């Protein structure tokens, strides 16, 4: 199956008892057994639930993996990955990453003796320099949030393999429509499915996909033992969202390009961060690694003024000022006070997340309406 067919049919089967074309919401916590241990593959819904299984199979299919795991949130999925490690182990992570991921690493797992190094991964040597015999995991987020830097997954995977270190990629911004990290040598793909995979801003859910059976078994063990699973209703919503991923992403990319070019040519805008520009520092890697450049854009108005940025986001009418991204509707965010507030100001500014930065998640509305909205808000 090709990608567009996989998002609809990959890993799916009609429901055997009724022939229901779509997997129903199996709203049950437990399953009848004929005799102890004699059942139809399901015992208790923390361990497995048929609606979640259908979603997990779909996720594995679209990411070109073998095993999918769904969790109650993107951070719950990340939490399970870090629980593969133990005290004394070290992780090398992208320095410019989602604030909540940074908080999970530094405020939770550092307390359990795991050490995190945050490095700019545009320079592969910077990663190699930090590797020592305790290094167990490299954590990559690309495109990065909100700077839209692009990290060369294949190049990082070569380093990971050389030193026998696991490579996990947060594929939330790109989605498998744009890039498939397992094909580029990653061991684990992670998603905040809350974003593009769900696609309708109506559910919080996380996902992991892997190819290796042993790794999958360790993660399934953690998923069941720690219990941060998603419910059947939420699994259903993401499964339903996935079926239009390809058409939504195509439009997100088209609208994203028009918005990026509009902002780039706007006399009041200082800087636009979008990997589709030929002068973007990582454009070559983006072009090779991704099918298109996505609908996420960050920008800074001239003067670099905090009040000006706040005025723009307050003036927007079709773009909604809100946390999150990846839904059909356009959203605007102010990273310094919203998504990245959990990163200390000095750390944030080192990587370019200044107080005047605005981040857009360009939706799939009529592009003329989006441009008119930006025009009236920026003035």
Ligand X SMILES: Cc1ncc(COP(=O)(O)O)c(C=O)c1O
Identity of the residue, 156 or 378, whose beta carbon is nearer to ligand X in the bound complex = 156
Is 49 a binding residue for ligand X by CB under 6 A? The answer is no
Q: Which of 100, 275, 276, 295 binds ligand X (CB under 6 A)?
A: 100
Is 71 a binding residue for ligand X by CB under 6 A? The answer is no
Is 96 a binding residue for ligand X by CB under 6 A? The answer is no
Q: Which of 50, 65, 68, 74 binds ligand X (CB under 6 A)?
A: 74
Is 171 a binding residue for ligand X by CB under 6 A? The answer is no
Asked whether 273 and 297 are in contact (CB, 8 A), the reply is yes
Known catalytic membership, residue 170: yes
Q: Which of 96, 170, 292, 373 is catalytic?
A: 170
Burial class from Cβ neighbours inside 10 Å (0-12, 13-18, 19+) for residue 188 reads: buried
Q: Which of 31, 42, 46, 103 is catalytic?
A: 46
Is 101 a binding residue for ligand X by CB under 6 A? The answer is yes
Asked whether 67 and 213 are in contact (CB, 8 A), the reply is yes
Beta strand 115-119 pairing with 90-94: parallel
Q: Which of 63, 79, 96, 170 binds ligand X (CB under 6 A)?
A: 170
Task: Calculate the CA dihedral of residues 213, 217, 222, 223 and round it to 10 degrees.
Answer: 80
Separation of alpha carbons 10 and 243, rounded Å: 10
Tell me the DSSP string of 230-282: PPHHHHHHHHHHHTTHHHHHHHHHHHHHHHHHHHHT-TTEEEEE-TTSTTSTT
**Number of residues engaging ligand X in binding (CB under 6 A):** 15
Q: Which 3 state secondary structure label does DSSP give 128?
A: helix
Residue with tokens 């993107």: 74
Identity of the residue, 173 or 293, whose beta carbon is nearer to ligand X in the bound complex = 173
Question: Segment 129-168, which members bind ligand X (CB under 6 A)?
Answer: 141, 145
Query: By beta-carbon distance, which residue lies closest to ligand X?
Result: 74
Q: Which of 194, 201, 223, 289 binds ligand X (CB under 6 A)?
A: 194
Q: Which of 172, 179, 223, 298 binds ligand X (CB under 6 A)?
A: 172
Q: Which of 199, 206, 335, 363 binds ligand X (CB under 6 A)?
A: 206
Single out the residue of 236, 208, 234, 218 nearest to residue 76, CA to CA: 208
Separation of alpha carbons 264 and 207, rounded Å: 34
Span near ligand X by CB under 6 A; candidates 51-59, 170-178, 329-337, 350-358: 170-178
Is 50 a binding residue for ligand X by CB under 6 A? The answer is no
Asked whether 335 and 146 are in contact (CB, 8 A), the reply is yes
Is 75 a binding residue for ligand X by CB under 6 A? The answer is yes
Tokens matching residue 46: 């923390």
Q: Any idea which residues carry the catalytic annotation?
A: 46, 98, 170, 195
Residue numbers of the site for ligand X (CB under 6 A)? 73-75, 98, 100-101, 141, 145, 170, 172-173, 192, 194, 204, 206
């Amino acid at each position: 199956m090709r990608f567009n067919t996989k998002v609809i049919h990959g890993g799916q089967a009609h429901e055997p008892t009724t022939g229901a074309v779509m997997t129903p919401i199996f709203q049950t916590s437990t399953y009848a057994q004929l005799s102890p241990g004699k059942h139809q593959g399901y015992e208790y819904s923390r361990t497995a639930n048929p609606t979640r299984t259908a979603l997990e199979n779909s996720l594995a299919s679209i990411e070109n993996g073998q095993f999918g795991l769904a969790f109650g949130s993107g951070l719950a999925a990340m939490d399970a990955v870090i629980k593969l490690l133990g005290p004394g182990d070290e992780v090398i992570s992208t320095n410019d990453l989602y604030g909540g991921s940074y908080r999970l690493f530094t405020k939770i797992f550092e307390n359990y003796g795991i050490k995190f190094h945050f490095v700019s991964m545009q320079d592969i040597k910077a990663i190699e320099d930090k590797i020592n015999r305790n290094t167990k995991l490299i954590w990559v987020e690309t495109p990065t949030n909100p700077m839209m830097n692009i990290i060369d997954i294949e190049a990082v995977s070569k380093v990971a393999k050389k030193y026998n270190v696991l490579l996990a990629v947060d594929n939330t911004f790109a989605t498998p429509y744009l890039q498939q990290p397992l094909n580029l040598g990653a061991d684990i793909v992670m998603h905040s499915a809350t974003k593009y995979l769900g696609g309708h801003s109506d559910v919080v859910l996380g996902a992991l996909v892997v190819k290796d059976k042993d790794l999958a078994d360790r993660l399934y063990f953690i998923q069941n033992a720690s219990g941060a699973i998603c419910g059947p209703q939420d699994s259903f919503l993401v499964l339903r969202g996935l079926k239009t991923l390809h058409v939504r992403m195509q439009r997100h990319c088209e609208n994203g390009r028009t918005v990026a070019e509009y902002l780039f040519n706007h006399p009041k805008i200082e800087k636009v961060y979008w990997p589709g520009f030929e002068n973007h520092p990582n454009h070559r890697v983006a072009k090779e690694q991704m099918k298109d450049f996505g609908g996420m854009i960050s920008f800074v108005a001239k003067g670099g003024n905090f009040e000006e940025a706040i005025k723009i986001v307050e003036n927007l009418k079709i773009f909604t000022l809100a946390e999150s991204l990846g839904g059909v509707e356009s959203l605007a965010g102010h990273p310094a006070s919203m998504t990245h507030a959990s990163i200390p100001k000095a750390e944030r500014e080192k990587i370019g997340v200044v107080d005047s930065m605005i981040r857009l998640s360009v939706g799939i509305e009529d592009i003329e309406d989006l441009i008119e909205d930006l025009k009236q808000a920026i003035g």
